[in-house]
Amino acid sequence: MKKVCVIEGDDASPEVVRPTVELLQEMNLDIEFLRPLTGEKAIEKYGTGFPAEAKEAVDSTDCTPFGAASGKTAGA
């Protein structure tokens, strides 16, 4: 099984990343998708838009589709 870490990014990026992941899921491939908390929700919880949990998820997976970041997901 492959592991994919999904970072949706900010602004309009989630509108592209979400349907892309949905298509992959519909194909019933042997993929586990990880979605760590990033962006505004991560800032609210951790005080940073890209917490250690997200970095660990990226480092532990086979690939990471990462939507464009305007600063929130990048930790600004």
Distance separating alpha carbons of residues 37 and 44, to the nearest angstrom: 10
φ, ψ (nearest 5 deg) of residue 28: 50, 45
Which residue reads 């997901």 in tokens?
Answer: 73
Parts of the chain with a pLDDT under 50: 76
- Do the beta carbons of residue 25 and residue 33 sit within 8 Å? yes
> pTM of the predicted model, to two decimals?
0.87
User: pLDDT value at position 75?
Assistant: 53
